[in-house]
Structure formats: C-alpha cells, structure tokens
Amino acid sequence: MIFKYIFPTLFFLALSGAMSGQVRFICPMVTETSQGVFIEATEVKKVSSLPPLKVTTSFFTEEINSCFKNKNPGNFRGSSRRINPREKNRMGVNLDLWGPVNLGLSVDYFVSSSLNFEMGGGLNAIHVGIKYHVMGFRNSLWTPYFGAEIVYSFEVKTGLYIPGGFSYIGNNGFSFGMEFGPWIRKLPGNTTNSINGLEFMGLGALRVGYHF
C-alpha cells in the first residue's frame, strides 16, 4: 500500500533545468486489463514560471494532487488485480495422453477456483473424479494439484487413480497439465505382480485443452 503514495514520485523528471526554473512533471496514466495493470507516462506538464532554485515541496504536492484528481490511486496494485483464470474459464475440454486411458478425451468444471470435477474416457478406461488445486485461490496461471479418480478399466475392472501435478490455464483459455500418480487396480485372481489381488502401478499423463 505504500506504493499508493510513493509511486507517483517516480514519474518526475524533476529539476530538469532547475537552474533556469524549467521543471517537467510526468503524470502516470493507468490502464487495467485482464493481462494486468499497465502504466504509461502520457500526461506531461511544463512549468517555466518558477524562479531559479525555487522548486519547492509545495509545488510537487500541488502537481500530485492535480495529477490524481478524478483518478483512483488504488489502481496501483500491480498484477494482483489479474482475473483468476479458473473463475473466468470454468469449463474445459481436454485431450489426454497416457495415464489410465492411454489416449482419450475428458471434460472438467471448476466449481470454485480450487475444486475441479472431471470425467472422461479413452482406449483403455473411463474415469470420474475430483482434483484440488492447492494455489487455485490465487490469480495465477499455474497451480499444483492433487486428486482422486475412480477408473473402470476395460481389462481389469475398477481401480483408483491418485494423481498429483501442475496445471496451467491461460487467460485466452488454453490449458495444459502434467501429472504422475499410482493406479491401484484389482486383478482377476492372485498373480505374482499383485498384493492380495491388488496391483500398484505408477502412471504419468499429459493433457492439452481449452477452457471457456
């Protein structure tokens, strides 16, 4: 918040020819978009009537008050004003590579900026589950997540997939994710690769999609 008061002073080209009483003052113009806050020095004032070496504090105070008249100083909050992409683009359609499905499609929906429901299917299985985005409450494009999915495999029936990874959603809707986790599935009968009929398999997956 201290920048709310100090930041305007960065826009002085102060004492530019102060010996001759020529002082230039640049007033910032703030533009806020979905990409962040942009600041341009678009308003320039010249004062040439001051006697040499008579540039006083009161002069700059008056110019600051004039500059910010009808402007909201609270706009100086940087990129923290960026829109949360998981709230802006809640619904997603994705192409899934590897993981339990091997190759497939999925849809997901952000109930909140942190909680995401997902369902899909592919060559090997169909699945439904939830994911929790740890930093989803922040207005960040990237966030780590973990989740749990019930997977019905066409080969070995029902299993549980517990992924963890990172997700990216851009302001334009493009999304990308990568994850890794164990797939716990029940095998028919006891085999040398199972423990009490359960097999633990590590899987990795990539995802590319579009959110809107």
Same domain, 96 and 201: yes
Residue bearing the bigger pLDDT, 145 or 155: 145
Q: SS3 sequence, 155-186?
A: CCEEEEECCEEEEEECCCCEEEEEEEEEEEEE
Residue 77 has pLDDT above 70, yes or no: no
Could you tell me if 102 and 181 lie in one domain?
A: yes
Q: Does residue 100 share a domain with residue 75?
A: no
Residue 114 domain boundaries: 85-211
206: pLDDT strictly greater than 80: yes
* Average pLDDT rounded to a whole number, residues 144-170: 92
The tokens of 172 are what?
């334009």
Q: Are residues 67 and 118 in the same domain?
A: no
Token pair in block for residue 200? 């633990």
List, for residues 119-152, the tens digit of each pLDDT value: 999 999 999 999 999 999 999 999 999 999 999 9
Cβ neighbors of 88 (< 8 A, separation 6 or more) are 34, 171
Please state the domain count of the chain: 2
Instruction: Give the mean pLDDT of 5-9.
Output: 41
Same domain, 125 and 109: yes
| Residue after which a domain boundary falls, among 59, 81, 103 | 81
State the alpha helices, DSSP H only, in 68-117: 85-88
Residue 26 shares a structural domain with residue 125: no
> Are residues 95 and 63 both part of a single domain?
no
Question: Hey, what amino acid is at 143?
Answer: T
φ, ψ of residue 87 to 5 degrees: the values are: -95, -30
Two tokens, residue 13: 């080209």
What pLDDT sits at residue 50? 52
Backbone φ and ψ for 79, nearest 5 degrees, come out as: -75, -5
User: Which of 60, 81, 102 is at the close of a domain?
Assistant: 81
Which residues have CB under 8 Å from 56's CB, separation 6+?
none
Q: Are residues 115 and 206 in the same domain?
A: yes
Domain boundary among 65, 81, 97: 81
Q: Examine the domain organization and report whether 91 and 121 are in the same domain.
A: yes
Residue 70 Rama label (left phi>0; alpha psi -120 to 50; beta): left
Sorting pLDDT into bands at 50, 70 and 90, what band is 69? low
State the CATH number of the domain containing residue 160.
2.40.160.170
Tokens 């230039």 — which residue? 24
107 with 131, same domain: the answer is: yes
The residues, ordered by sequence, that sit 6+ positions from 80 with a Cβ below 8 Å of its Cβ are 139
Asked if residue 30 has pLDDT above 50, the reply is yes
Together in a domain, 104 and 171: yes
Residue 118 gets which letter from DSSP? E
**Local confidence band at 186 (pLDDT 50, 70, 90 cut-offs):** confident
DSSP annotation of 195: B
27 and 106 in a common domain: no
